[in-house]
Amino acid sequence: NVLNTTKNKTNTSLVYPNPTNNFIQINTPYAFNYKIYNTQGKLIVKRKRVQQKIDVSSFTQGIYILHLEIEKQNFIHKIIKY
């Protein structure tokens, strides 16, 4: 369960801007996989081999959990959509 994990890393400079309204920029030169969950743990979106930007413009306002996989490392971020 992504909401209960303790082995994943966080890096506040990796994901910006946060809060956001349209796009989240991922600060990495590598393609990445991601999943976004709502606060109840329901998977909202899953994508593979993405480059730098994630479009959240269609999301409703609220808090989301972003799970990134970059070069076989996992990162978890709380995203605020306004």
Strands (E), 17-72: 23-26, 32-38, 43-50, 53-55, 62-70
Q: Which pLDDT does position 38 carry in this prediction?
A: 97
CA dist 18 and 46 (Å) reads 19
Q: Which pLDDT does position 51 carry in this prediction?
A: 85
Q: Quick one: average pLDDT of 58-70?
A: 97
SS3 content of the chain, % helix, strand, coil (to 5): 5, 55, 45
Q: Quick one: average pLDDT of 4-17?
A: 65
